[in-house]
């Protein structure tokens, strides 16, 4: 089979590997779609010296496909099943896994004792390959009405977006300001609209502004020409947004998110980027604002998200602007690195 690895300084290599064989409790997934995540870009952009310090495994962590084979002691899936695959798979038995926090597992039988994280953002071979070997418990059923690309996005970006909106209890009563219309922000847009919210999108890249408009934004704010906070107050009868979520990782966006919400408003940070942010605690107290972070998503969230997407008729595939074959990985990453696309997917026939 073929697989992609990052070798540093925005370069990658397509290598040939032996086809994987499942051991006890494992499955081999024949890939049908996998999407590029912003966190893949963090590794793609590293220097060669820094890439060498990371596990030398196949990249990619948003997998979806068909079960090709299973090992002994597997009864939750069978060959031919359509599955989305968790990108962080725990042991299933520890306290964190039982609560659904697979990504916090510390008892997995992997080289570093952490969860089975797929791709070079993690520690095990990932989804930029024709086939993927994973613990069977990480293979989750993909409803027939959802596409393989939907399933790939659900494995990380979509799940992350759904999780934070769920934590913030977004509903039809809310106006939600989304800072950053990259792939996760666009997924949040579709999901928030499905929850009935009014959505304001804040972005500076023209292509993503246009895509957000096509996907149903109620209001669009171009950072290049707008006074963001003032415009949000104008759009909300001078009350402010009920909820603001930053997907960009920019401190300017984070501060705007805090400043644009109403009294007793909610703010969440998702995007990684600037590491230090100066806040005014007295302002948070005076305005009774709640700020929270949110990492990826709980395992049980996947099932709720799948039901939600099916019942609401939402396809996250709408966030995809380009598809490539695995042989076109160099071109795909060069394009995604420009920041002027929606989601990009690798697909197999």
**Of 278, 293, 308, the domain-final residue:** 293
Domain match, 115 and 208 both: no
Angle subtended by helix axes 183-194 and 206-214, to nearest 10:
20
User: What are the pLDDT digits (tens) for 201-241?
Assistant: 999 999 999 999 999 999 999 999 999 999 999 999 999 99
Task: Provide the percentage of residues in the chain whose pLDDT is more than 70.
Answer: 100
User: Do 195 and 340 have their domain in common?
Assistant: no
Q: What is the CATH number of the domain that holds 323?
A: 3.90.180.10
| Domain end point (choices 272, 293, 314) | 293
Nearest to 191 by CA among 231, 233, 227, 160: 160
3-class DSSP assignment, residue 212: helix
Query: Where is the domain boundary, 293, 312, 334?
Result: 293
Indicate whether 113 and 199 sit together in one domain. Answer: no
pLDDT, position 106: 86
Q: Are residues 311 and 279 in the same domain?
A: no
Residue 274 reports pLDDT greater than 80? no
Pair (148, 130) in one structural domain: yes
Query: Are 94 and 130 in a shared domain?
Result: yes
pLDDT in tens, 108-126: 889 888 899 999 999 999 9
Confidence of residue 169 (pLDDT cuts 50, 70, 90): very high
133 and 207 share one domain? no
| CB-CB contact of 123 with 112 (8 Å) | yes
Predicted pLDDT at 217: 97
Q: Are 283 and 277 in contact (CB under 8 A)?
A: no
Structural domain of residue 119, as residue ranges? Answer: 2-156+297-347
Are 212 and 280 within one domain?
yes
- Residue 145 and residue 13 share a domain: yes
Same domain, 135 and 177: no
Same domain, residue pair 278 and 189: yes
Residue 133: pLDDT band with limits 50, 70, 90: very high
pLDDT in tens, 318-346: 999 999 999 999 999 999 999 999 999 99
- Give the pLDDT band (50/70/90) at residue 280: confident
Q: Are residues 90 and 7 in the same domain?
A: yes
Count of structural domains within the chain: 2
Answer yes or no: is pLDDT of 269 > 90.
Answer: yes
Helix and strand totals (H; E) in the chain: 12, 17
């Amino acid at each position: 089979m073929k697989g992609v690895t990052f070798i540093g300084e925005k370069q990658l290599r397509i290598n040939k590997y032996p086809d994987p064989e499942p051991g006890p409790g494992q499955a081999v997934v024949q890939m049908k779609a996998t999407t590029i995540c912003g966190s893949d870009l963090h590794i793609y952009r590293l220097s060669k010296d820094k890439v060498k310090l990371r596990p030398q495994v196949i990249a990619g962590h948003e997998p979806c496909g068909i079960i090709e084979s299973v090992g002994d002691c597997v009864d939750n899936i069978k060959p031919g099943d359509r599955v989305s695959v968790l990108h962080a798979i725990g042991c299933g038995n520890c306290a964190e896994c039982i609560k659904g926090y697979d990504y916090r597992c510390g008892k997995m039988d992997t080289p570093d004792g952490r969860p089975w994280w797929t791709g070079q953002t993690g520690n095990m071979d990932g989804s930029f390959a024709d086939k993927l070997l994973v613990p069977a418990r990480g293979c989750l059923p993909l409803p027939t009405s959802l596409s393989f690309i939907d399933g790939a996005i659900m494995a990380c970006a979509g799940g992350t977006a759904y999780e934070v909106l769920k934590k913030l209890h977004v509903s039809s009563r809310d106006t939600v300001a989304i800072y950053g219309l990259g792939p996760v922000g666009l997924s949040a847009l579709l999901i928030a609209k499905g929850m009935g919210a009014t959505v304001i999108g804040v972005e500076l890249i023209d292509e993503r502004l246009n895509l957000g408009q096509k996907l149903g934004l109620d209001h669009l704010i171009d950072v290049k020409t707008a006074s963001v906070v003032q415009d949000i107050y104008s759009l909300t009868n001078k009350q402010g947004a009920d909820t603001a979520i930053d997907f960009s990782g920019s401190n300017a966006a984070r501060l705007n998110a805090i400043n644009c919400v109403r009294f007793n408003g909610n703010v969440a940070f998702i995007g990684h980027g600037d590491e230090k942010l100066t806040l005014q605690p007295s302002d948070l107290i005076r305005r009774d604002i709640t700020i929270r972070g949110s990492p990826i998503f709980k395992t049980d969230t996947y099932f709720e998200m799948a039901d939600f997407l099916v019942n609401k008729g939402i396809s996250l595939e709408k966030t995809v602007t380009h598809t490539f074959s695995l042989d076109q990985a160099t071109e795909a990453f060069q394009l995604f690195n420009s920041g002027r696309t929606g989601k990009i997917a690798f697909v197999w026939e």
